[in-house]
Structure 1
Amino acid sequence: MRLGWWIGVAALFGSGSAQAATCRLGAAGTTVSVTIEGTGRSMLVHLPAGRSTARLPLVFVFHGSTGKGRDILAQSKLEATADRHGFLLAAPDGGIPAEQGFVWNIPGVPTVTGKVPSPDDADDVAFVKTAIDQLAAKGCVDRSRVYATGYSGGGRMTSWLSCVAADRFAAIAPVVGLRAGNPLKETPRVPDPATCTPSRPMPVLAFAGDADTTNPIQGGGAGYWQYTMHTALVRWADLNGCRMGPVEREVSADVKEERFTRCSGGADVAGRVKHGAGHVWVADNEAMWAFFAAHRQ
């Protein structure tokens, strides 16, 4: 991965009529560090190779707990996918420092350190919204085609954004991290419906491995996990008003899919489980992008 230069706030975003009509973050095929004005934070943005300066789809990829944006770019190999299909790829760092990296602020849920985020911790939802707004203002992003994926804790962050900021995303694809709200305190094997009330149906494609012992598809494990992947899929199907499913099929020799269809606004819900895979990036990036590309707001 090639890291570019730091782009200053004034040079990157400008103001008013001085803003350019086209996106000029850096050279095509590079990954640059972009300052997000007013947050004191930056994020890595990959500009697809060989593409025009017109507004592009934007995919956020969120790192796992105690990781960094640069880590998930290396793990996911999504930069190459962005180059093949021509979308911007954003990889921010979480807002709460932990060990050698960062964790995401999901209110009311303990991080892997055991600490529940406090009101003094950085608001990651506000940061992501601001990043979308500023990239769109710069002429870089098609607001109708903003998507999110993430690994582990980043998958949980992706799920959380869908619960509280569904108006900003056209579809999500969490990897070993699909949730549908916080575990219910009295009965943690089910999600608390009050903690996930999306403003619109959200298309969902989730990926997991059946040998994952960190976020097992059968539930259990850490306090933030508990309910099963199937339960999360059913909850999203309910939220999306799906009228058919689940229907199971074999995607390949080692991948099984569970899908709900005939959902409001075409917001289908599916989960793919890879046999023998553990707590790793198990996503099929081409299938993920095909799913994203089929949805826009």
Structure 2
Amino acid sequence: MRLLCITALLLCALPALARAQATPATCSLTPVNGEIRELTSGGRKRIYRLFVPANAAGQARLPLVFDLHGTGGNTTGRAKETGFEALAAREGFAVATLQAEDSRWNVPVFTPRADDVQYVSDVIDDIAARSCIDPARVYATGFSGGGRMSSLLGCRLNDRIAAIAPVGGLRWFGPCSGRAVPVLTVHGLADFTNAYEGHGDRGAEWVESVPEALAGWAAHNRCQQKLVQDKQAGPLQTLRYAGCERDAEVKLLRIDGMGHVWPRTEVDATAVIWQFFKAHPLR
């Protein structure tokens, strides 16, 4: 009888022990200062740049922000452009700056080219295997072609990506399955590369207008149908859909007179995007 009781207690304790081992309260994190790492994804050699702040050691699991360069860009230039790594050093999150094959993301998807959605998923796994990353706080942002790619991730990988923030490149690739995805986008009315009005001569690369893409995400997130514009002085205007499922808000920062650039003057896009991400863990 005593043996049976001991056995029963051990069986009850095993699941709790396994959970404790699988999800430690804190982690021993090694700082990584913009290191280039390699992995194989879909049979192809890929690289990415990783930054883990020096003050992360001993902290709980860190959020992870994916930063995607525009067409023709690279990891080093992108890291300098946004300053996400400097912000991460102050705020305590990790940054993965990804590299597209031939500096061009496979979006819209063309089958013979690299599967970039799988690449992002594989990078999450690669980082999580060596660093303590919070799987509920993985985010994606990007500029231009990287904005289109982060839009695709919100549609195709929303079980792993908590929120997206495309800049100068919001797209709607619906219908999308899965959960409601918080969306913040920034776009200039004087952007002549990815025109705010859409419907230019770019083929499948740039189709719908920014308001149409925003409306697609709002419908996916089951927001209220009315687009609300906050009354603001100056070139920066905020447009948003309210009442979205699981607080998955859909918001546009529209900047009059701004071209195809990463915003710094009218709004610090890097800081604003991080504040948006902080408010939206995976639900």
- TM class by shorter chain equals 0.7 to 0.9
- In structure 2, the partner of 1:47 is 52
Q: Using the alignment, how far apart are the partners of 1:32 and 1:24 within structure 2?
A: 15
Q: Using the alignment, how far apart are the partners of 2:232 and 2:136 within structure 1?
A: 29
Task: String of CA shifts for 1:187-209, please: whole Å, max 9, x gaps.
Answer: xxxxxx4xx41311000000011
Q: Using the alignment, how far apart are the partners of 1:75 and 1:144 within structure 2?
A: 27
5+ residue gaps, structure 1: 1-16, 109-116, 182-192
- In structure 1, the partner of 2:9 is none
Q: Using the alignment, how far apart are the partners of 2:254 and 2:178 within structure 1?
A: 28
5+ residue gaps, structure 2: 1-20
Note the C-alpha offset of 1:40: 2.0
Note the C-alpha offset of 1:49: 3.9
The answer to whether the 8 Å contact 1:244/1:262 transfers is: no
Note the C-alpha offset of 1:247: 0.8
Task: String of CA shifts for 1:48-97, please: whole Å, max 9, x gaps.
Answer: 242324420000010001111112111112222212211101111113x1
2:86 is the alignment partner of 1:86: no
Q: Using the alignment, how far apart are the partners of 1:218 and 1:120 within structure 2?
A: 30
Question: Are the structure 2 counterparts of residues 147 and 216 from structure 1 closer, same or farther at C-alpha, using a change threshold of 3 Å?
Answer: same
After TM superposition, list the pairs within 5 Å mapping 1:120-199 onto structure 2.
Answer: 120-181=112-173, 193=174, 196-199=175-178
Task: Count how many residue pairs are aligned between Structure 1 and Structure 2.
Answer: 250
Note the C-alpha offset of 1:290: 1.0
Of 213, 222, 237, the residue aligned with 1:232 is 213
- In structure 2, the partner of 1:291 is 276
Please give the root-mean-square deviation of Cα atoms over the aligned residues, in Å. 2.0
Scaled by the length of structure 1, the TM-score of the pair is 0.78
Q: Which moved more, 1:281-290 or 1:127-136?
A: 281-290
Task: String of CA shifts for 1:154-202, please: whole Å, max 9, x gaps.
Answer: 0000000111111111111000000001xxxxxxxxxxx4xx4131100
The answer to whether the 8 Å contact 2:181/2:221 transfers is: yes
Note the C-alpha offset of 1:137: 2.5
Question: Are the structure 2 counterparts of residues 278 and 120 from structure 1 closer, same or farther at C-alpha, using a change threshold of 3 Å?
Answer: same
The answer to whether the 8 Å contact 1:171/1:295 transfers is: yes
Of 195, 210, 233, the residue aligned with 1:216 is 195
Q: Identify, as 1 or 2, the structure richer in helix.
A: 2
**Matched position secondary structure for 1:82:** helix
Task: String of CA shifts for 1:208-265, please: whole Å, max 9, x gaps.
Answer: 1111000111113312213110001111000000025311014562210110011111
Of 207, 215, 228, the residue aligned with 1:247 is 228
- The structure having more radius of gyration, on CA atoms, is 2
**Matched position secondary structure for 2:55:** coil
Of 31, 49, 72, the residue aligned with 1:66 is 72
The answer to whether the 8 Å contact 2:30/2:131 transfers is: no
Question: Are the structure 2 counterparts of residues 33 and 23 from structure 1 closer, same or farther at C-alpha, using a change threshold of 3 Å?
Answer: farther
- In structure 2, the partner of 1:34 is 37
Task: String of CA shifts for 1:131-168, please: whole Å, max 9, x gaps.
Answer: 11121222421000000000000000000011111111
**Matched position secondary structure for 1:178:** coil
Question: Are the structure 2 counterparts of residues 22 and 252 from structure 1 closer, same or farther at C-alpha, using a change threshold of 3 Å?
Answer: farther
Question: Are the structure 2 counterparts of residues 52 and 24 from structure 1 closer, same or farther at C-alpha, using a change threshold of 3 Å?
Answer: closer
Scaled by the length of structure 2, the TM-score of the pair is 0.82
Note the C-alpha offset of 1:47: 1.7
Q: Which runs of 4+ in 1 moved over 4 A?
A: none
Note the C-alpha offset of 1:280: 0.4
